[in-house]
């Protein structure tokens, strides 16, 4: 089941380019977004973390999909 959710997370990032933890959790039903991002990075996906602020001033992470890392020959 986790692989299905991980694939949903990857598909969402590829299709939309980015997403906050809250958005990603709602769209993919993957509760531990940070762990999913770590697993995708370990599989060679380039995902950057940027920080934004809500209207109340709280900081939150937004994950930006930058594609698959190229392996040097």
Residue 1 pLDDT > 90, yes or no?
no
Task: Enter the CATH code of domain 2-68.
Answer: 1.10.10.10
Q: Where are the domains of the chain?
A: 2-68
Question: How much is the pLDDT for 63?
Answer: 98
Residues 61-65: contacts with CB under 8 Å, at least 24 apart: 61/20, 61/21, 62/18, 62/19, 62/20, 63/13, 63/18, 63/19, 63/20, 63/21, 63/24, 63/33, 63/37, 64/17, 64/18, 65/13, 65/14, 65/17, 65/18
Question: How much is the pLDDT for 71?
Answer: 67
pTM confidence score: 0.86
> pLDDT per residue over 27-72, tens digit each?
999 999 999 999 999 999 999 999 999 999 999 999 999 998 776 6
């Amino acid at each position: 089941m986790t692989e299905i959710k991980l694939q949903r997370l990857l598909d969402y990032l590829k299709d939309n380019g980015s997403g906050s933890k809250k958005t990603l959790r709602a769209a993919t039903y993957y509760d531990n977004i940070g762990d999913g991002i770590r697993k995708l990075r370990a599989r060679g996906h380039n995902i950057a973390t940027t920080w934004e602020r809500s209207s109340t001033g709280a900081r939150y992470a937004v994950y930006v999909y930058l594609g698959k890392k190229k392996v040097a020959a």
